[in-house]
Structure 1
């Protein structure tokens, strides 16, 4: 479907049905924005195409794929793009002492380098429209999310990158919003997960690790469409002065999803509070007790 005169455009990465990207696409579409939905396998976007959205193939880890997508979008929009949503991401739940570096590199290719590549490639279209970049980060960026060190590191990188990108693009009229996303309903629980190696020091609490794999889907989890409505509403809101953005209009930082308010509030008290809560909530405290019992048994022998 062609773009109507004056109609805003948004490109969203990672729009496979069931995830945040898909929900955002539906919400932007409902608000009258022309949606360019992308996925590595565009066949999964057929229903979105039937609704009138533009659907394109895009793998954010492949430079050729990014360039091809850019060229298609430039032709479609006349060289402009109002909003870029970097949503494509990869989960990574594994103890820091059990990681495989090739696996880690794949996560960073999607979660970090893919975001950087998309911003660099589409900067010209965003500058032409004085547009908005929305980088989907996570509360994991600032929390000690046990068994998520790699994922936390990747989202922490996105946060730091986005803060600097915001200042670099400010002279060109391009805004950068960081979405600090809490627990949101997705298909993560249905995907294959990593397993503990037989020699893992966490075999003692393997049931805790198993529970942690689906933690985000079972703890204050917010419906995907509820999250999407809030984010789209903020993305399309009016511009307010810098000092007022935390409360009015389009914010630089968007906090939503399960635990978002609590984590934001905890930042006023220092990191000790989150350390205390997550150490116990995830179940790592159990390992401490087990290790103490093992030490006592050794002394008795």
Structure 2
């Protein structure tokens, strides 16, 4: 556990998933720059040496392990005196595989981190958050609102985070604990570099090139630099609390759309889901697969007619 001590009146923040090169790491640096007592976490805290050197407290945390979460809570309680002003649930797992090729164990692993880990963290730290009348920041994704083709498992996990957060916001409102959902767009992150090859015999082998492009889509399309994204997330978290009708303009937003393509997808949710469907179809080029299959069916039909004539 870190030897750092919180100052009197200093606000505290715990961030999950702070491995270098990712969003959590940048958010930790930004909160630190704003003068907060930052507790950065990762499964292997030794990877956080650069944050520790800057005066940031570091702890070991695996959000898929109840034992690890309990140990982390004990350490955070000692570090902060039993209060937590901000909990940032950032730890996540990418999963880009066609829906018909999914491995059930891989789906479970995705949900363990992206969904159950968030739920477990909120349950474990709620007492500390209540003591501080704190704020929970759940990092979701545009994929919760848009058909992010070949990402059905990931989309489902982020959609679950969104629905969970809606209920959580209302349930914790009487206790003075607030909830912000970050609808993250395309952001520079090492997590997006995990590549899953097509399984043998996949329905999508004819468009393997499209699938390969999709694997790195978030890193090549209006991608926001990680520090810029972190700055916007932290600035929103630190904005004043105002009445809900004025919140989107003058205070902290409950739903914070941020990152590359976030404005486009947000507009799509207003104009209608059909807009998002048409956009995804065109962006990811699945017309190419439809044309290929239509041509194959036509060839098969012509061959069948030719056989009939020769009989």
TM-score normalised according to structure 1 size: 0.98
Name the counterpart of 1:209.
211
Name the counterpart of 1:73.
76
> Hey, what's the Cα distance between the residues in 2 that align with 1:95 and 1:110?
20
Q: Is there any run of 5+ residues in structure 2 with no aligned partner, and where?
A: 304-311
> Hey, what's the Cα distance between the residues in 1 that align with 2:221 and 2:51?
30
Candidates 145, 152, 155, aligned match of 2:155:
152
> Hey, what's the Cα distance between the residues in 2 that align with 1:77 and 1:269?
45
Alpha-carbon contact 1:235-1:250 (below 8 Å) kept = yes
* Equivalent residue runs for 1:77-156 within 5 Å: 77-156=80-159
* SS, match of residue 268 in structure 1: helix
How far off its partner does 1:244 sit? 1.1
Greater than 2 Å deviation, 4+ residue runs? 188-191
* SS, match of residue 196 in structure 1: coil
Name the counterpart of 1:236.
238
Alpha-carbon contact 2:93-2:191 (below 8 Å) kept = no
Deviation by residue 1:218-244 (Cα, 9 ceiling, x = unmatched): 001000010111110110110010111
Name the counterpart of 1:29.
32
How far off its partner does 1:247 sit? 1.6
How far off its partner does 1:189 sit? 4.5
Candidates 136, 154, 169, aligned match of 2:172:
169
Name the counterpart of 2:307.
none
Name the counterpart of 2:199.
197
How far off its partner does 1:162 sit? 0.2
Q: Which has the larger radius of gyration?
A: 2
Deviation by residue 1:145-201 (Cα, 9 ceiling, x = unmatched): 10000000000000000000000000000000000000000113543x212112111
Q: Which moved more, 1:5-14 or 1:277-286?
A: 277-286
Question: Per the alignment, do residues 134 and 275 of structure 1 end up closer, same or farther by CA in structure 2, a change over 3 Å counting?
Answer: same
Candidates 252, 271, 292, aligned match of 1:250:
252
* SS, match of residue 249 in structure 2: coil
Q: Which moved more, 1:237-246 or 1:159-168?
A: 237-246
Candidates 18, 21, 30, aligned match of 1:18:
21
Deviation by residue 1:128-149 (Cα, 9 ceiling, x = unmatched): 0000000000000010110000
> Hey, what's the Cα distance between the residues in 2 that align with 1:164 and 1:190?
32
Deviation by residue 1:54-80 (Cα, 9 ceiling, x = unmatched): 100000000000000000000111110
Name the counterpart of 1:274.
276
* SS, match of residue 240 in structure 1: coil
Name the counterpart of 1:46.
49
Alpha-carbon contact 1:188-1:214 (below 8 Å) kept = no
Alpha-carbon contact 2:140-2:161 (below 8 Å) kept = yes
> Hey, what's the Cα distance between the residues in 1 that align with 2:137 and 2:270?
25
Q: What's the C-alpha RMSD, in Å, of the aligned pairs?
A: 0.7
> Hey, what's the Cα distance between the residues in 2 that align with 1:245 and 1:155?
24
Name the counterpart of 2:6.
3
TM-score normalised according to structure 2 size: 0.95
